[in-house]
Amino acid sequence: MQPTKVKLALMSSQLSWGGGEQFLWSLGNGMLERGHSVLWICDQSSPLHERIQQKGLDCCSLPGRTPKPRDLLALRRMCTKQGTQLLHANDSHALTWGSLAMMGKLAVKRVGVKHTAFPIRSSVRYNWMLDALVCVSNAVKEVCMDSGISTKKLHVIHGGVQPPNLNRGLERLWACETLGIQHDTPLFCAVGSLIPCKAYDRLIEAAYHLRWHMPDFCIVLCGEGKSRPDLEKQIRKYSLQKHVRLLGFQSEPERWICAADAFVHPTQNEGLSLVTIQSQMIGTPVIATEVGGLKEVLRTPHETQPLGWILQGSDPANLAETMIRSLQNTNERHQMISAAKKSALERFHLDRMIDKFEQFYLAMVDPLRNLSSPVEDSVKAYRLAS
């Protein structure tokens, strides 16, 4: 008889909260709801650990990026006690330490997840330490293949999002009151880590251009990161303190997305972008660059229909012009919003992602199951479409 339940260990080494941690938290809770056993492994100072503790879930505390041998031994014992069948490493550091802790335990399958479209420096670790590597988009899978990872180990499962249950009118009132702006003030939102590849400096440059065409507007950036001092300096340079607000980490960024007239994502590299998918589900127009996995989010499969305003080039003036155009109440705008919402709900719903991972996990722990890459859009089809 084939197993119907899996004993999982979900591991993250991250000390902050981002798309990868939201992905893991949603996945773990989904697997628990379906009756699977989940052991969480993370740093005790991380936001993920705080959420795990609040729900009273089983957790093994491990220093995120510098565990000592005794920490790995404690992890090994916890997994043995739970009867772990599969270790899911959600980032590269978790992959290394988790694999070392499970060394010699051949019955425990080791699965990694690649969230970003950055090239891999060395494929040896992935080919040697993992039984399988899940990519969150076909674009990420291409990067992994080009980096030398065995295609037999690669599987694509698109990330998924739970559609937010929000009232646009109420969220707009809340946002305007919080910011101290008028209800009809154009409001743009960006969500993500403040790091160079997100290109928020370009968004601030666009705000400078925007000010000459639209004297009253507001851009909110939700997130933290090492680029914050540079962005603050840039905002002061252009005297944009009234127009650009760095809000820091927000536990409910979807509220800002829902309140905004448009969501802006000028990133230079992206594995998939759950926050862009969330914006589409909410019905907020998306302005984004068509890079990495965003190609799969901003267009319908096998079609050329855009599901957002796609940025061409890196000219801030062009971004400003696109932001102005996204505010215009046209048939194009309404049709794009409707098509994007329909596509996001059909292709990237959280339940769909959990279904795929559940099938994948069961196939991994049972060699008699047929394990094929659980993805409907093959890399070949993706290449043809792009």
Tens digit of pLDDT at every position of the chain (386 positions):
456 899 999 999 998 888 899 999 999 999 999 999 999 999 989 999 999 999 999 898 887 777 888 888 999 999 999 999 999 999 988 998 998 898 888 889 999 999 999 988 888 888 999 999 999 999 999 999 999 999 999 999 999 999 999 999 999 999 999 999 999 999 999 999 999 999 999 999 999 999 989 989 999 999 999 999 999 999 999 999 999 999 999 989 999 999 999 999 999 999 999 999 999 999 999 999 999 999 999 998 877 789 999 998 889 999 999 999 999 988 989 999 999 999 999 999 999 999 999 999 999 998 666 554 444 443 343 333 33
The pLDDT assigned to 122 comes to: 83
DSSP state of 164: P
- Of the candidates 242, 264, 263, the one whose C-alpha atom is nearest the C-alpha of residue 179 is 242
The pLDDT assigned to 305 comes to: 80
Are 198 and 297 within one domain? yes
Print burial letters for 350-377: b (CB count within 10 Å at least 16), e (below 16): bebbbbbbbebbbbbbbeeeeeebbbeb
The pLDDT assigned to 329 comes to: 85
Are 333 and 356 within one domain? no
Task: Say how far apart CA 305 and CA 338 lie, in whole Å.
Answer: 12
Are 268 and 379 within one domain? no
- Of the candidates 113, 94, 107, 106, the one whose C-alpha atom is nearest the C-alpha of residue 20 is 113
The pLDDT assigned to 377 comes to: 41
Contact 239, 152 (CB under 8 A): no
The pLDDT assigned to 368 comes to: 63
Residue 12's domain spans which residues? 7-160+349-385
| CB contact set of 344 (below 8 Å; sequence gap of 6+) | 161, 277, 280, 281, 297, 307
Task: Say how far apart CA 132 and CA 127 lie, in whole Å.
Answer: 9
The pLDDT assigned to 3 comes to: 60
- Of the candidates 85, 82, 26, 81, the one whose C-alpha atom is nearest the C-alpha of residue 51 is 26
pTM for this entry: 0.88
- Of the candidates 296, 291, 275, 113, the one whose C-alpha atom is nearest the C-alpha of residue 192 is 275
CATH number at residue 322: 3.40.50.2000
Are 300 and 273 within one domain? yes
Task: Say how far apart CA 211 and CA 265 lie, in whole Å.
Answer: 19
Are 154 and 177 within one domain? no
Query: Is residue 2 assigned to a domain?
Result: no
Are 234 and 122 within one domain? no
Are 156 and 185 within one domain? no
Helices 47-55 and 19-33 cross at an angle (nearest 10°) of: 20
The pLDDT assigned to 380 comes to: 40
Domain count, the chain: 2
Query: Is residue 118 assigned to a domain?
Result: yes
Quick: pLDDT tens for 99-135.
889 888 888 999 999 999 998 888 888 899 999 999 9
Are 241 and 132 within one domain? no
Are 224 and 295 within one domain? yes
In angstroms, how far is CA 53 from the centroid of its own chain?
23
**CA 78, 82, 85, 91 torsion-angle sign:** negative
The pLDDT assigned to 7 comes to: 95
